[in-house]
A and B are shown apart, each in its own frame.
Chain A
Amino acid sequence: MTATETRVVGKRLPKLDAPDKVSGRIQYADDLDIPGMLTGAILRSPHAHARIVSIDVSKAEALPGVKAVIHAGNVQQRPFGYGHDNLPLKDRKVRCVGDEVAAVAAIDEATAKRALGLIDVVYEVLPAVVDPLEALEDGAPLIHDERLDIDGNVSMRWDFETGDVDKAAEEAAVIVEGTYSSPLAAPGAIETHVVIASFDRSGHLTVWSPVHMVFMYRKELADTLGLDWGNITIKQPPVGGSFGGKIDIDTHDFICVLLAEAAQRPVKLAMSREEEFIGTRTRQPIHFKLRTGADADGNILFRDTHVISDNGAYNAWGSHAMLVAMNTVTSLYRVPNSRMRCAVVYTNKSYGGSVRGFGNPQSTFAVEQQLEEIADALGRDPMELRIQNANQAGDVTPQGLKITTCGLTQCLESVKEASGWNERRGKMKDRYRGLGAAAFIHVGGGARIYGSDGCGAMIKMDDSGQISLISGSSELGQGSETALAMIVAEEVGVPMSKVRVIHSDTDVKPWDVGVHASRTTFVAGNAARLAAGRARDKLLAAAAEVLGKDDLVIEDGVISSRSEPERAMPYDKAIRRLLLREEGNVIMSTAFYDPPTENQDKGYIGNISATYGFGAHVAEVEVDPGTGQVKLLNLWTAHDVGRAINPSAVEGQIEGGAVMGIGLALTEELPVRVEVGELMAPNLHDYGLPTMVDAPRIHVDLIETNDPLGPFGAKGIGEGGLIPVPAAVANAVADAVGIRPRQFPLRPWKVLDWIQTGETSNVVKGAGRG
């Protein structure tokens, strides 16, 4: 398939918001100042599990400068979260260190913090359960003893089965088994969470929040606080990085509104870095006990996995990461039989939210290591085994995913060639160097998890010729604003400079699910393209009246006749000719795009995305056999992007994702003190976000499969860059020093321990290579 001829789409253009961000001119939420605004602060639990015996706020209330002190006893609030298991301000119990117990609004930060110190909370400390395996034991302390609808500490189960796994295991020539684990990690955005809430005299609530599922946020705010959701405006200042952390509402958002209500003044609540780690959502640890079997020819026969998601104290988005993890277990490569038994377990610690990749890096870490273990056991080259088993266009996976366009084989061939795989893998052990690969599948055409997976778009053209796209979507640094402007410029036929993208607030924007699941370019892009096409048709109709021709085209802002090219006019003149007359009109258009997908049924079968993204990475590492340090020397990536709307931005997304994956693979972790459930080191230094020095040269190959449903052929690519990195790095370490790293991050002491103890592949059936 050849790409449509384009003038703007496919060009390497700088991001529209880059100059103001780079020069520090952009105004983030924390830069905003509302007259009369107070500073909020939250009193958090120091205990992982405790009963709240009493709260005395009288001394805090008496402190001059304090305008409101709130706690569960003096506010109206309802439970929120999946299973309605959480409250903005905890009433009976705290269930993790950092739980919100009370909050203060005061004239400045120093006063607010002093007031927190004057609040007297009496706790009765309860035994804490930090390890999910302990939480599953009979007689384990019940973290949500009020929930009669669940079994012990298991808040959810996600069970899937297709084919006959047990029969396939009997037929398999080789089976490998192991448990693969991931750590508690954080999104790690530079901007911490900041929210401002203000009620006007009529009772209308305005909230400024760098959130990106803004309509869900508004509904949850209203539902939980008993407000009228039609009387709330959510304004979205520029987002200083999210990576999923700012996807949706969090406890402090509710608390800020409660403070503004109690104080009858605007209130700003800004998280410190420490609070960001302790009090906002994380990527929860997940443990995959996985078996993979293949026949003697290397065809994968089955995957069988028992998963424990160590979800933390409450069910936020993290509880649903299993949806995405499941796609990889059932649908990465052709796997006829698969079984997944998953328990989402409450523990007394920081609870999981939505972080870029959303369950997939963890799942891919297990699945793609076993792919190489199977290959090794069969004496086959793992890249060849991948190509042999690769998904192909036209496949429908056992989970019902309809693979339309599929560049997986091309991606594998690309990284194999670029990395010198055949010449170098397994041949650098004398220098402790190795190559490892991993591929991924991820939604690339939206992800239907609600009734609608749609996004609205509106176009207006004004008398200057400025074209505004008002999109339901949000820009959070991923470059969607630029991509959407390019799509509109292309579709209308004007230069990029004529298009502005507006996504300011819920009063202005048409409805959208929000930014998640790598869906914005695909879904918001299709909506923008539809609206732009409708506006262009109106524009050409207006020009047709003036030019007296109906075979008009528009290119670079000039409307002309195909048959008589000298009959032409600038497009903005056509707008004015339509507008500035009696009974005139202005050009506006709307569109709503909801991808042709289906919700999964109760057995988790259904085509949730209109297309799927694929990619493959090869990592090259050097392992220090004395210290266990792993140095990533090279990362080759190839991604099926459908079509790159803006190749520079696509490469930037893939590279940025890869660096995030490098952090996951090697350094990022929030260790928890097991006895007390508190984070050992909630700071950016110990957390181990990678720096530029930790990022090697990242080679990016864009594979364009021109998806027929994508806007100009594009697929979503927001998360793919990071998904295969931990698996590829682990496989490279296995190649370099012959160990099998079953936990990420591969912090040096773990690697040294595995080298010293000889942690290797566990082939439970069939001949192992060694």
Chain B
Amino acid sequence: MYRLDRRQLLGSSAIALLLGSETARAAIVKGGLPWKPGSGDPPAAVTPGGWRYFTAQEAATVEAFVDRLIPADVLTPGGKELGCAVFIDRQLAGPYGRFEGHYMTGPFQQGTKQQGPQSPVTPAQHYRQALATLDAACRSKFGGKVFADLSDDQKDETIKGLEDGSLKLGGTDGREFFKLILKDTQNGFLADPIYGGNKDMASWKMIGFPGAHYDYRNWIDRHNQRVALPPVGINNHPDWSQ
């Protein structure tokens, strides 16, 4: 680590840090392609157990919710067993949950639909607010029961109320939260299992996506034939653990 001076700007080779602070990553590339071992940046696999963002009560609500969006049936296990709630929890605890990378400078003001979302409320904050008001709404409607304690029919009725806007959440439109949790649940269901959902690549097996295979040159010409390769993910292959 060293401070910039002209001699270093002129005399550096391959790659050199311009400034000493850890955040300043400005560099000079010169003389050859910069390369150092171990410079890859693979995703960290989600570790099971516990909640990183949700409270126990929030987690129970989300597990119940994802289990209705992705119900257990002949096609796959339910959303809870597949890890969709864990997926959402880990996402909310990370960059996604805090709108990292978004332009977050004000003034914040509502625009047209075409101008896109303008709210400063992050996904993590959105869940916290909406889950609390969802349970409050369920309590008043279903004799004191929270969402997780409802029957499947009552849960579906509640979700439909959010979807069509008839169920308000603390004065706000429940549709926005419905769209958010639906998108997050389906992303967890369909994304690579390394992020905590889509356990055993259940959704990929259901639709016939063989996963992240690197090379389909042997298949491009085989028109209208089912690809007979086992599904594979970034961190797991059904055969690797056997």
Real binding pair: no
